Amino acid sequence: MGLEKKLELVKRNTAEIVTEQELAKLLEEKKQPIVYHGFEPSGELFHIGYIIGINKHIDFQKAGLKLKILLADFHAFLNEKGSLDEIKKTARKYALGFEALGVDVKKADLIFGSSFQLKPEYFSDVMKLALKVRMLRAKRSMTLVGREEEDPHVSQFLYPLMQAVDMKHLGVDIAFGDFAQRKMHMLAREELPSLGFKAPIAIHHEFMHGLQGGKMSSSQPKSSIIINESPSEIKKKIGGAFCPAKQIKENPVLEICKFIIFSREKELKIERDRKYGGDLHYTSYSEIEKDFACGKLHPLDLKKAVAASLEKILAPVRKKIPK
């Protein structure tokens, strides 16, 4: 595969690359660059917003990159997401979900953080980084929950330092995640050279809005769809989702079209009675956005089609991970 095609695959449906020049140079000079994406396993399973990142995993693999998925069990433990045994159980479900949604797990490395984070050299690097990073910077790089707490635990200040050190010990070239990871990625780019490791390239994607607004989160069941949700629940939740007529921005139903359906399907069929103009066939997200913005496409018709398409896309997950 040529450089131009590789760049196209790596860049599509991303929101930011720091920096594109570094990325082009890396793809030109290294046969199989390593891209890393970390997940903090929590709850029973992850929601459909994760599919934005999973679609990129598939793109990365098509472009010839080596994919390393960190199942961050210690990170989840430090963030009070359960016991290590509970977190490991959830992490294994995550792995099944990645596979069901199209990631080639045989060619990817799925790595538990606890498999290397207790080694002396890893702990030494965390301590060295702790001497260089000020408390306020660490807090800005913490998870959203930690930043909002008035008196967070010390463990949550270690969290971003460990994320940076993870990159060194996994030997990564590219750090990937949503914008919630941006401050931590910038910390890693600035500080890892002091540990004798290169600054990783950072690639970020948009996050998906919840069905009732805000950022989609598994902790808000009415505002999210878990990947092994039943067809009836999918239909019910999409039917009740925030989707004002003609509103494009922060519209979760349109985001599902953009980031999930048209990344996996060639067409979205809108079934309508003849008296309302008959069926519509869309082959790109831009066509849907245009018709929705001018009122040609009604929210209820869009919701029915999106629910049906999402049920189809998630069918392999329900088969592999039944509720």
Is 294 within 8 Å of 218 (Cβ atoms)? no
pTM: 0.91
Task: Please give the angle made by the CA atoms of 2, 169 and 4, to the nearest 5 degrees.
Answer: 10
Alpha-carbon distance 147 to 270, whole Å? 43
Q: Which domains are present in the chain?
A: 3-205 (3.40.50.620), 221-320 (1.10.240.10)
pLDDT at residue 132 in the model:
87
pLDDT at residue 277 in the model:
83
Q: Among candidates 234, 232, 197, 178, which has minimal Cα distance to 54?
A: 178
Look-up of token digits 């290169």: 198
Is 215 within 8 Å of 207 (Cβ atoms)? yes
Strands 201-205, 174-178: pairing is parallel
Q: Among candidates 34, 74, 69, 41, which has minimal Cα distance to 54?
A: 69
Amino acid (1-letter code) at residue 111: I
pLDDT at residue 145 in the model:
43
Going from the first residue of the chain to its last (323 residues), give the mean pLDDT of each consecutive group of 10, the final group possibly shorter: 93 95 97 96 92 97 97 89 92 96 96 95 94 77 56 73 95 95 92 96 95 89 94 97 97 96 95 88 96 96 97 96 87
pLDDT at residue 158 in the model:
80
In 8-163, DSSP assigns E strands to: 16-18, 34-39, 66-71, 109-112
The token pair at 155 is 């463990």
List all residues 6 or more positions away from 135 whose beta carbon is below 8 Å from its beta carbon. Answer: 157
